[in-house]
Amino acid sequence: MLDTAIVGLGWWGKTLVKAARDFGAPINFVRGVTLEPDTVRDFAAEYKIPIGTSFDEVLADPNVKAVVLATPHTKHPEQVKALAAAGKHIYCEKPFALSKAEATAMLDAVKRAGVVIGVGHHFRLMPSMRVLAELKEQGAFGTIMHAEGNYSHDWLANYPTDSWRMSAEESRTGGITGLGLPVLDCFRDMVGPIKRVSALSKARALKLPTGDTTAALIEFENGATGTLGTTIKTPFRWRIAIFGENCWAESVSETRAIVRRAGKEEPEVIDRPADNHLGRNLDDFAKAVLGRGTFPIPPAGILQTAAALEAVFKSADADGAWMTV
């Protein structure tokens, strides 16, 4: 088992702990850190996690071999660098960083320390997305020409406007940080690195300074094109479609994919059982630390996705000007 600390025990930190436990990942949470310990007493008791408020105590604890970070995005750079210097393996919740420069410095620190880095890009592991990945592995698409993605919902709209998740510093550009980022990661996994983007962000319903709706046009390094859309004020929608010369396939929910092959009159609907893909991602990280495999997203992929996210920010700030990743 991997003795691990969880830093950040808001709703998502709790979700990570539960997902790891339910999946049976070889993770033993031996410490929890939160700035509001009174709000997690019952949870900590249920999962038998000692709770404290000091990040520095985690750094100094020789019994903590790995740390799961579920903290505000802007805290990730300094926390990751400090953990790496302390020799701790790190699973960092997405977004890993908000700029290419930050991500580069973080990954350099990880490399110097020789620790494992994992990032919470778990959407690519959803059953429906694995259907698309299998088609790619089989060569079913042929040349991939285009990708379309939209991840939208109104859950974030229910957060108080003074919440860190709604701040311009933490969540720039109309839902891209929380919602568009998983699409960017799936695009990179399915199509390849992104070369440049042109994005617009607008405040349509919520009138937030960060905007509530973003659309982006994407060019991949291999010449393929893509479009991405997201809004934080509409009912739930998830869709990623990959268009190849021989077939197209789309993930329309966690468990359902639709495939249309050349020469076939009707598309094929493929339903897979729901599973704990978040727990699987944590399991991949723990097994990489324990020497039983490698984390499926290499540092170069982590960097590319962070750089693409920053390019969307910059383009939206420049009213849609093309930005190189």
Rounded CA gap, 202 and 25, in Å?
41
Q: For position 155, what pLDDT does the model report? A: 83
> Of 152-166, 199-213, 266-280, which one has max mean pLDDT?
266-280
- Is the residue at 281 inside a domain? no
Angle at 318 between CA 222 and CA 98, to 5 degrees: 70
Instruction: Please give the mean pLDDT across all residues of the chain.
Output: 95
Cβ-count burial of 311 within 10 angstroms (0-12 exposed, 13-18 middle, 19+ buried)? Answer: buried
Look at the chain and report how many structural domains it folds into. Answer: 2
- Is the residue at 225 inside a domain? yes
pLDDT of 273-309, one tens digit each? 999 999 999 999 999 999 999 999 999 999 999 999 9
3-state helix, strand, coil in the chain (%, to 5): 40, 25, 35
Nearest CA among 221, 115, 234, 257 for reference residue 174: 234
Beta strands 51-52; 27-33: pairing state: parallel
- Is the residue at 91 inside a domain? yes
Cβ-count burial of 93 within 10 angstroms (0-12 exposed, 13-18 middle, 19+ buried)? Answer: buried
Instruction: Indicate whether 213 and 84 sit together in one domain.
Output: no
Is pLDDT above 70 for 37?
yes
Of 31-35, 98-102, 164-168, 314-318, least confident by mean pLDDT is 164-168
Instruction: Indicate whether 129 and 237 sit together in one domain.
Output: yes
For residues 115 and 92, is the Cβ–Cβ distance under 8 A? Answer: no
- The predicted model scores a pTM of 0.95
Instruction: Indicate whether 111 and 132 sit together in one domain.
Output: no
- Is the residue at 290 inside a domain? no
Domain that holds residue 166: 123-273+296-324
Is pLDDT above 70 for 132?
yes
Which has more confidence, 173 or 276?
Answer: 276
Q: What is the mean pLDDT of residues 46-57?
A: 97
- Is the residue at 280 inside a domain? no
Q: 210 pLDDT band (50/70/90 cuts)?
A: confident
Q: What is the mean pLDDT of residues 202-217?
A: 89
Q: 165 pLDDT band (50/70/90 cuts)?
A: low
CATH code, domain with 99: 3.40.50.720
Q: What is the mean pLDDT of residues 162-171?
A: 71
Q: Which of 62, 94, 119 is the last residue of a domain?
A: 119
What are 232's two structure tokens?
Answer: 């934080």
CATH code, domain with 208: 3.30.360.10
Instruction: Indicate whether 136 and 240 sit together in one domain.
Output: yes
- Is the residue at 209 inside a domain? yes
